[in-house]
Amino acid sequence: MKAATTLLTTVLSLSFLGTARASTYGSVEPIANPAVIDTQLLRDQPLDVRKAFAERLLQCGVVDRVIHALSSTGAITTINGLNTHFEVGAGGFAGHTNPAYVYTVIDSGPNAGSIGDIKVLTDSLGYVLSQGSAFLLDADNTASFDFPANYVVLNFATPPPLERSAALFDTVGRIDPQIFSTDTSGYTQYGRAYLSLESAVPDAEFITGYVQAAAQFGVEYTPLVNGLPSLFQGGAAFPGNDWSQSPHGEDYLARIPAQSHAALGQIRDFHLRVTQEVLKKLGHDKDHDTSEEGALREVTEFNCR
């Protein structure tokens, strides 16, 4: 994928076929962009440690606070607990897997989330979490976002741990580095569904690589059209901010209603504060516990207030 990505979940565990396709999927990573804070100490931690940091932030309500800030100021009106689901999932980009907040929004029917509100929510999460970009995909409408996108979905029998998704991505890399390690290569895990937008390679190369990976890993390749491997098509976007040129998140803020800016800024301050606290703990001197167990404590023992 073209930028650090991360997405949404459980509806996908049913499959991308039928009613499950009336959904929009998103993903935002929780570790701040290095142009905002030098987060290398955290990024260098094992996947389990980075996942624990993401889970602690989610438990602290960072996503709920963003939704409340937007709803209470009237910036969004259609996003709610009946149509939107968040969880910590796996997101891969350019050969690396990271934890991400992946989310699914039901975008059709009597309690649908609107595309406009989904965009505002995603921009707000990208701003609060200081991300270079986020990810959006309308599963079957090519016109909802910035560009039409081909993609495949590999289905596990049950939702896998993040490490299992990362191992599947590594398998893809051994088969074809051009769909693994480039700045157009990536995936997001939603429930049991591993979703990858087509990299900048010919259709046949992308399909062949993922068919081989699915066979080697023992997962289901979709879609099949008349029994032959094919591609889904939807509409995608990578809304973002260039923090080196717009250090206050101006690109995001320009797309978010102004009445929410102050409240979102306070949540962003909280995220930056706890990130700096975690980095300080990880950077202790030689007496600091360098084991994975020690790191797990240091990335989760911060105050939620």
Q: How confident is the model at residue 14 (pLDDT cuts 50, 70, 90)?
A: very low
Average pLDDT over residues 100-111: 96
Using an 8 Å Cβ cutoff, are 75 and 258 in contact?
no
Domain boundaries, the chain: 10-298
Return the SS3 of 46: coil
pLDDT of 4 strictly over 90? no
Instruction: Kindly report, residue by residue over 112-141, the tens digit of the pLDDT.
Output: 999 999 999 999 999 999 999 999 999 989
The residue-averaged pLDDT of 152-158 equals 98
Q: What is the pLDDT of residues 160-202, one digit of tens each?
A: 999 999 999 999 999 999 999 999 999 999 999 999 999 999 9
- pLDDT beyond 70 at 16: no
pLDDT value of residue 8: 34
Residue 18 has pLDDT above 90, yes or no: no
Residue 224 in this model has a pLDDT that exceeds 60: yes
- How far apart CA 208 and CA 218 sit, in angstroms, is 15
Ramachandran area for residue 94 (φ above 0: left; ψ -120 to 50: alpha; else beta): left
Question: Residue 206 has what DSSP assignment?
Answer: H
Residue 1 has pLDDT above 50, yes or no: no
* Closest by Cα among 260, 246, 255, 249 to 66: 260
